[in-house]
Amino acid sequence: MRLTVGSDKSAIRKTMDFAKWLLDIGKGKLGGSNDGEAIIDIPDDLLINDPYDPISSLIEFVYPSILEASTIPGYFQERAILAPKNEVVGNINDRLLALFPGEMVEYLISDKLCESEFVHDHFDAN
């Protein structure tokens, strides 16, 4: 829905048609009977035809001139690569991060506090 804000009617129609096509795929309405596998016709403008390095082709298509454009406000807000599995997302993220100069840093987080050995009263325990 956000993609249609400020767009002309033809762009809105194209976006709505694409959204319906995606929903139909998710609901199993495309590709005939579906027993876990189905053949779905994908429009040519969405296909990646590079048999040797499809992930690089996808990255270049979605993020053209990423190193030069990465400082432009909103550059990453206007783009996204969606993937069906976390493994694929991790692979794409690793490839994207490898494009940037410098050493990669990983920050760890925790979603709960460590309990202290020195609880003074009921208030501290909570």
pLDDT tens digit sequence for 33-68: 767 777 888 888 888 888 899 999 999 999 999 999
Tell me which of 93 and 28 has the higher pLDDT. 93
Q: What local confidence, expressed as pLDDT, does residue 119 receive?
A: 59
Tell me which of 24 and 32 has the higher pLDDT. 24
The whole-angstrom separation of Cα 27 and Cα 17 is 15
From start to end of 38-113, where are the E strands?
none
Closest CA to 15 of 3, 26, 29, 23: 3
DSSP of 99-120: HSSS--------SSPPPPS---
